[in-house]
Amino acid sequence: MTEGPEPTHEVRELWYQEDGSVIVYSHQVVPRRWWNRLTRPIGMMLIVLAVAWPALLLSHGWTWLGLAFAIGDVCVVLVGRDLILWGARRWSDP
């Protein structure tokens, strides 16, 4: 079973001391996988549709249906937000 690409170190901050020494603060970064590039646009599309669909229904006079979708689309917005976050860079746990 393959575990994927090896984590790499990324320097986050450098502190220069008075004596000339340098303190390096770094994290291990897990490289993105091929599907990470897809999760962000899909998450954004879900959020846009979750906001636009009830607005479209309400503007065409479908008040109760628009309100029902607006209430149900809270879950779709949360799923879209999670997809956007999953597409971001990941810090590996020590």
Q: Within a 10 A sphere around the Cβ of 21, how many other Cβ atoms?
A: 8
Q: What is the mean pLDDT of residues 64-74?
A: 87
Percent of the chain exceeding pLDDT 70 equals: 76
Are 31 and 5 in contact by the 8 Å Cβ rule? The answer is yes
Q: In this structure, what DSSP letter does residue 9 have?
A: E
pLDDT of residue 1: 45
Helix (H) or strand (E) holding 65: helix 63-86
Which tens digit of pLDDT belongs to each residue from 4-48? 556 676 667 888 888 988 888 877 776 666 667 788 888 889 889
Q: Which residues pair with 24 in a beta bridge?
A: 14
